[in-house]
Structure 1
């Protein structure tokens, strides 16, 4: 009985050893094939490329929270893409960048889609919080002969008729409002003098209403303010009498010694038998 048990044990050990041998052989073959496959495969080199973390609209200010770096195949990096954070946001440059072309989430940032630091994308980037853009029609006279440039400050005068005997009146209605565009140009670097048809100013909503009312009821004239002139013009209003130095007309007064006009009495004469009587009636003329 013991001999049979021993033979079974020896046979089991032999089978287990054979199984281990087969497994080791197969593992060796698998590892060899894996090593050959890795040796024959070319590893793809990547480079960090900055993409948008959200949808970016035209005119938005670009911040560090709006971008993130992702691994991008080096042989497929789009032309103009940003691969260096110091190039995208220079440490020595505090001026912001703006979105020039709308971008979707995870879309690579490229130089053509955003402005240079400090470069303005257009009128929308010049509007501060709470301000609105308003266009004023001008000509060679009211537009200071074409010397207006985006970034200048102007005073606005209104000329029109008022409901009294003074005739036309010219009044200063807005002081030191900022120009943000001349015609369709918002560039400050233009040096050529040109006669504009419209200028766009940055004003608050109350000023928008005032300028709209003034432009629809009279003529607006712009007066250029000096570059470093911080003075605020006083309230100015000139009518024709003040312009020509004519005295004010004194209001007509009734003299105390002037007799009051007699009240008119209208009558008709009627006969009653032998008597003639005068009857008072309303006057018709």
Structure 2
């Protein structure tokens, strides 16, 4: 009887030991899962575009290692002193594309990629597509002008799919989507397109045409003349007619007849 009791106790101890070992291994694995995380720099508060990041604005946060973030920072010193290009929410990891390049300055200049130019254009359409010309939208630029070979004004598309960097003084769209009236729009252009924009403003009045942000197709639009609006034949410039020189009239001949009557004489002229 005592032997059976001893065996039962030994079996119970073995089972208890095995259970304890299994439980400790499981807890160790759970601890490893929790510790398997990346440390990234995140914003401690809401940060507006153009703000320069300070040390007290950011903090290190843990992020699941299974979900790595491309372009994230692991050191606070890597983001301090750089300007935000886009709004950042509290707790949001900061990525390299969110910040201006080191030493590039703050505000609009930090949003201009290398090799591109920003140019401000004033449009005759002050409201700008009912106020929906906002930063980040894409537009075509049309110019209405006159040339020396056509009697009617012409309208032509000079730029296509140009990105709006700023509308007035705004570099970010209104968070509520409220349209705003602007008189100056800043576009992001290549150096060649910037030259076209300057020439267009010097030759006539320009207008902005809003387009779908996902539509990047270049349309082959031709200039439109005033006569084409009513589908009338275009007027040809009148040709100058040289005045016809008048021929001088020939000199008319005249005859003189002298009449003698006794001692008197008289003369008469006939044409």
TM superposition score category, shorter chain reference: 0.5 to 0.7
Q: Equivalents in 1 of 2:225, 2:136: separation in Å?
A: 32
Counterpart position of 1:125? 110
1:84 offset after TM fit, Å?
A: 5.7
Which residues in structure 2 correspond to 1:186-197 (within 5 Å)? Answer: 186-188=171-173, 190=175, 191-197=177-183
Cα-to-partner distance string for 1:47-93 (whole Å, 9 max, x where unaligned): xxxxxxxxxxxx9xx9xxxxxxxxxxxxxxx9628786989xxx933
Cα-to-partner distance string for 1:162-214 (whole Å, 9 max, x where unaligned): 21343211111111111111111211463221011211111112211211111
- Of residues 177, 197, 209 in structure 1, which corresponds to 2:195? 209
Q: Equivalents in 2 of 1:110, 1:230: separation in Å?
A: 34
- Of residues 206, 213, 222 in structure 2, which corresponds to 1:236? 222
Unaligned 5+ runs, structure 2: 1-49, 85-93, 101-106, 253-271
Cα-to-partner distance string for 1:115-166 (whole Å, 9 max, x where unaligned): 3434355322332221100001135567111101211111110012221343
Change (3 A) 1:83 1:194: closer
State how many pairs are aligned: 177
Q: Equivalents in 1 of 2:110, 2:173: separation in Å?
A: 13
Counterpart position of 2:139? 154
TM-score computed with the length of structure 2 as normaliser: 0.52
Whether the 8 Å contact between 1:82 and 1:109 is mirrored in structure 2 is: no
Counterpart position of 1:178? 163
Change (3 A) 1:83 1:231: closer
Q: Aligned-residue CA RMSD in angstroms? A: 4.1
Unaligned 5+ runs, structure 1: 1-58, 63-77, 98-107, 254-260, 270-285
Q: Aligned to 1:186, what secondary structure does the other structure show?
A: coil
Counterpart position of 2:129? 144
Whether the 8 Å contact between 2:145 and 2:204 is mirrored in structure 1 is: yes
TM-score computed with the length of structure 1 as normaliser: 0.50
